[in-house]
């Protein structure tokens, strides 16, 4: 059995111990480092598949460590942990972090993201940041489901100043619409990309998602719950099974209940939603 190698970097030995217990598996070898210098020494001598990078005991910044890791071990997936700071999340995207979590890190989400990182074969250019102004963020995301999960977590961090319930509503709506864009618009073709814009005003968050597909009509979506006849409330489930699609189909219906406005363009390959903040 080939061992997968993880490196945990954090100044707090209790945090390292907690993460080690959380992430330990029979097919994994886990090493710990207390600061950036220790981590870099280990990286120079051994290859690691995933690095979970927190603050070191000498004040070392995990974003600086990220850049150094990229230079030494460009194939390593670096998951950065740190403060609740949208600017740092943007810097993490710009510097090709695999993901970003604020402290305290949610164990379940980190565990899932580490497994996804270990399973990823090609990921470095999956998320492109083309506009990094706090008021107007634009991303180009490769049509891959794992890229959608990473982008959703980055969105949570970039909108960390929202009340938690609003943030989770936005994240759930965003994830569903992005996955629809990737699956139906991009046909899960990694050569194609979905373009996303996140706009903030004093009173609202506006999200625009443009997929590379030919579009669709809201009046004809047999695979979606929104099209179910009154006498067959789960008809779309049968259609999805016949078409070999993932379980679901409740995306548009659910999203309408999570955001304040939901608008599709005439062609059906772009969607905009608004969440009012005041």
pLDDT computed for residue 238 by the predictor: 59
**Mean pLDDT, range 73-82, rounded to an integer:** 97
Q: What is the CATH number of the domain that holds 149?
A: 3.30.565.10
How far apart are alpha carbons 127 and 119 in whole angstroms?
17
Which CATH number do you get for residue 69? 3.40.50.2300
Do residue 156 and residue 93 come from a single domain? Answer: no
Residue in the block written with tokens 């979905």: 194
Give the pLDDT confidence score for residue 77 in this predicted structure: 98
Q: Is 11:34 a contact under the CB 8 Å cutoff?
A: yes
Of residues 278 and 138, the one with the higher pLDDT is 138
Convert the pLDDT of each residue in 164-214 to its tens digit. Answer: 999 999 999 999 999 999 999 999 999 999 999 999 999 999 999 999 999
Verify that 114 and 2 share a domain, yes or no. yes
pLDDT of the residue at 249: 53
Indicate if the pLDDT at residue 228 is higher than 70. Answer: no
Nearest alpha carbon to residue 77 among 98, 55, 108: 98
Residues 6+ apart with CB under 8 A from 25: none
- What's the distance, CA 67 to chain centroid? 20
Angle between helices 251-258 and 164-180 (to 10 degrees): 150
Distance CA 108, CA 131 (A): 31
Radius of gyration of the chain (CA): 20
Q: How confident is the model at residue 56 (pLDDT cuts 50, 70, 90)?
A: confident
Q: How large is the average pLDDT for residues 101-128?
A: 96
Q: How confident is the model at residue 57 (pLDDT cuts 50, 70, 90)?
A: confident
- What per-residue confidence (pLDDT) applies to 271? 97
Whether residue 1 is predicted with pLDDT greater than 80 in this model: the reply is no
Mean pLDDT (whole number) for 144-150: 97
Residues 135 and 70 in one domain: no
User: Count of alpha carbons within 13 Å of 9, Cβ hemisphere only?
Assistant: 34
For 36, the domain range is: 1-120
In a shared domain, residues 108 and 173: no
For residue 229, pLDDT beyond 70: no
Q: Which comes out higher in pLDDT, residue 45 or 228?
A: 45
Q: Are residues 182 and 244 in the same domain?
A: yes
Same domain, 115 and 213: no
- The bridge status of strand 127-133 relative to strand 99-102 is unpaired
Q: What pLDDT was estimated at residue 136?
A: 97
Q: 155: part of which helix (H) or strand (E)? A: helix 145-158
pLDDT at 275: 98
Strands 193-200 vs 77-82: parallel, antiparallel or unpaired: unpaired
Overall average pLDDT of the 130-142 stretch: 97
Say what the pLDDT of residue 251 is.
Answer: 72
Q: Round to whole Å and give the CA distance between 129 and 169.
A: 23
C-alpha span between 49 and 255 (Å, rounded): 36
Mean pLDDT of the chain: 91
Q: Are residues 220 and 104 in the same domain?
A: no
Check: pTM over 0.85? Answer yes or no: yes
- pLDDT at residue 60, as a whole number: 84
Q: Where are the alpha helices (DSSP H) in the chain?
A: 13-23, 36-45, 62-72, 86-94, 107-119, 145-158, 164-180, 235-243, 251-258
Q: Tokens 């990094």, residue?
A: 132
Query: Do 151 and 21 share a domain, yes or no?
Result: no
Beta strands in the chain (DSSP E): 4-9, 28-33, 50-53, 77-82, 99-102, 127-133, 136-142, 193-200, 204-210, 261-264, 270-276
Q: For residue 67, what are its two tokens?
A: 């850049």
Structure tokens at 180: 């629809």
Q: Which of 103, 120, 137 is the last residue of a domain?
A: 120
Q: How many domains does the chain have?
A: 2
Average pLDDT over residues 120-140: 95
**Mean pLDDT, to the nearest integer, of 81-88?**
96
Which of 64, 88, 120 is the endpoint of a domain? 120
The residue out of 120, 137, 164 marking a domain boundary is 120
Mean pLDDT along residues 3-16: 96
- Please say if the pLDDT value at position 72 is more than 60: yes
pLDDT of residue 252: 78
Q: What pLDDT was estimated at residue 9?
A: 97
């Amino acid at each position: 059995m080939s061992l997968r190698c993880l490196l945990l970097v954090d100044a707090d030995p209790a945090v390292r111990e907690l993460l080690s217990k959380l992430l330990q598996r029979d097919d994994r070898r886990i090493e710990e480092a207390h600061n950036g210098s220790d981590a870099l020494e280990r990286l120079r001598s051994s290859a690691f598949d995933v690095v979970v990078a927190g603050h070191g005991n000498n004040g070392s910044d995990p974003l600086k460590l990220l850049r150094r890791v990229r230079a030494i071990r460009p194939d390593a997936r670096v998951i950065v942990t740190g403060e609740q700071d949208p600017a740092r999340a943007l810097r993490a995207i710009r510097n090709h972090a695999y993901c970003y979590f604020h402290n305290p890190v949610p164990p379940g989400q980190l565990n899932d993201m580490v497994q996804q990182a270990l399973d990823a074969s090609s990921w470095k250019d999956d998320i492109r940041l083309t506009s990094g102004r706090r008021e107007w963020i634009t991303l180009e995301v490769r049509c891959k489901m794992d890229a959608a999960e990473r982008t959703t977590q980055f969105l949570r961090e970039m909108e960390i100043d929202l009340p938690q319930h609003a943030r989770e509503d936005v994240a759930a709506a965003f994830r569903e619409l992005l996955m629809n864009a990737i699956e139906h618009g991009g046909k899960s073709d990694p050569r194609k990309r979905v373009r996303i814009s996140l706009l903030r005003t004093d009173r609202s968050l506006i999200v625009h998602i443009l997929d590379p597909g030919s579009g669709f009509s809201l009046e004809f979506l047999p695979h979606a719950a929104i099209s179910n006849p009154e006498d067959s409330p789960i008809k779309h489930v049968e259609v999805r099974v016949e078409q070999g699609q993932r379980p679901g189909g409740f995306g548009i219906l659910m999203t309408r209940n999570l955001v304040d406005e939901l608008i599709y363009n005439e062609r059906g390959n772009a969607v905009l939603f608004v969440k009012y903040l005041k």
